Amino acid sequence: MKVIVTGGAGFIGSAVCRLMTGLKGYEVLNIDKLTYAGDLRTLASISARDNYHFAHQDICNRDAIVKIFDDFQPDAVMHLAAESHVDRSIDGPADFIQTNVVGTFNLLDVARAYFDKLPADKRSQFRFHHISTDEVYGSLGSEGLFTEETAYAPTSPYSASKASSDHLVQAWHHTYGLPIVISNCSNNYGPYQFPEKLIPLMALNLLHGKKLPVYGEGLNTRDWLHVEDHAEALVKILTEGRIGEKYNVGGCNELTNIDVVKRIFDTVQEIVPDISFENFDEAVTYVKDRPGHDWRYAIDPTKMQNELGWKPKYDFETGLRQTIEWYVNNREWWEPILKSKYAGERLGSAKGQADA
């Protein structure tokens, strides 16, 4: 199966490329613009494989994307390219609209023209898999879970842009018959995550003797999914999911942020005993909340389990330890990022209002 993966140099896309190029019968073409979040070093272990190819390209560049489809002749597209960080969407939403909305439209339009010209046997195999987020459903209160039937109610510029892209993908299915499938997943964690996100930011702050900036009171809740479990779920959805359907992917690891940060502290302290802080309370600093901060996300993964027989393999404790050990042992990956791209400063505080 020849698969175009967009955003394959990012955190989740690179896990998908590493997994798929190791499976029999797959050939992968990664299309990535290499924004601040894209990093080809995440693909060093597979870059020499015969079944892996890379195109340095922006999904918004229609002519270039048409040529890539014509040359590669894909059987499927897995669309992960996006601006992905909520805090950055608060500071600068324009890039999110451009890539997540306009870029998805562009890819759909090219895929549709390509699909329409395919011979019948290839048309029946073709899939456009759009990778989205549980944030499209908005925020839960203290009860309940997101199911595939939950109404969309996005709240941040990021989640609104992802919800828009989901709607475009559904429209291309209903109007033009493009064979699509959509998956919406919860917060991912694991190796190679850009250090703007909660788990790597906190781990690297501890390794540098810097305090841990927890937004608000730290009681917002997220449902954590290991990136390798997510990559396996995505391959299953692509190959076994039903056309036109949505699948929610969650890790069944619902935790408050303060609980996650405490577990990061304990794990780092175990692995690197000489960190600068005597105890957790000394390490934490409660900072001004994220504007519009969603209270709680949690996924009901029943459909994935019953229909596709998928379950996450990692429990949070094992996954977090593996992740923190990876950051401790792979300084050469993140040190250049901290030097040249992002040094751990507060993002998304609606300028000038941060107290950290």
Question: What binding mask, one character per residue, do residues 102-141 give for ligand TDX by CB under 6 A, x or -?
Answer: -------------------------------x-x------
One of 3, 4, 5, 9 touching ligand NAD (CB under 6 A): 9
Closest distance to ligand NAD from the beta carbon of 194 (Å)? 5
Closest distance to ligand TDX from the beta carbon of 124 (Å)? 32
One of 215, 265, 314, 327 touching ligand TDX (CB under 6 A): 215
Q: Is 226 in the site for ligand TDX (CB under 6 A)?
A: no
Per the CB < 8 A criterion, the answer to whether 298 and 352 are in contact is no
Per the CB < 8 A criterion, the answer to whether 158 and 106 are in contact is no
One of 19, 77, 80, 168 touching ligand NAD (CB under 6 A): 80
CA dist 340 → 12, 36, 193, 270, 336 (Å): 22, 10, 16, 29, 6
Q: At what angle do helices 62-72 and 104-116 cross, to 10 degrees?
A: 40
Residue 243: exposure state from Cβ atoms within 10 A (0-12, 13-18, ≥19): middle
Tell me if residue 134 is catalytic: yes
Window of 29-37, 199-207, 240-248, 323-331 that interacts with ligand NAD by CB under 6 A: 29-37
Tokens of 141: 């209160």
Window of 166-174, 207-215, 306-314, 317-325 that interacts with ligand TDX by CB under 6 A: 207-215
Which lies closer to ligand TDX via its Cβ, residue 57 or residue 220? Answer: 220
Closest distance to ligand TDX from the beta carbon of 55 (Å)? 23
For residue 78, which amino acid is it? M
Closest distance to ligand NAD from the beta carbon of 237 (Å)? 13
CA distance 27 to 42: 18
Stated as kind and residue range, the H or E segment containing 121 is helix 120-125
One of 26, 38, 108, 178 touching ligand NAD (CB under 6 A): 38
3-class DSSP string for 157-202: HHHHHHHHHHHHHHHHHHHHCCCEEEEEECCEECCCCCCCCHHHHH
CA distance 22 to 52: 10
Window of 74-82, 121-129, 168-176, 337-345 that interacts with ligand NAD by CB under 6 A: 74-82
Q: Is 284 in the site for ligand NAD (CB under 6 A)?
A: no
**Which one of ligand NAD, ligand TDX, none is in contact with 198 (Cβ closer than 5 to 8 A by kind)?**
ligand TDX
CB under 8 Å to 230, separation ≥6 — which residues? 12, 15, 185, 188, 249
| Residue whose tokens read 């995440």 | 42
One of 5, 12, 65, 201 touching ligand NAD (CB under 6 A): 12
One of 4, 19, 163, 201 touching ligand TDX (CB under 6 A): 201
Interface with ligand NAD in residues 135-194 (CB under 6 A): 162, 185, 187-188, 194
| Catalytic residue (choose from 39, 83, 134, 232) | 134
Q: What do you get for the CA distance between the two ends of the chain, in Å?
A: 49
Residue 119: exposure state from Cβ atoms within 10 A (0-12, 13-18, ≥19): exposed
The binding site for ligand TDX (CB under 6 A) comprises 84-87, 133, 135, 187, 197-198, 201, 213-215, 220, 222, 257, 290
Active centre residues (catalytic)? 134-135, 158
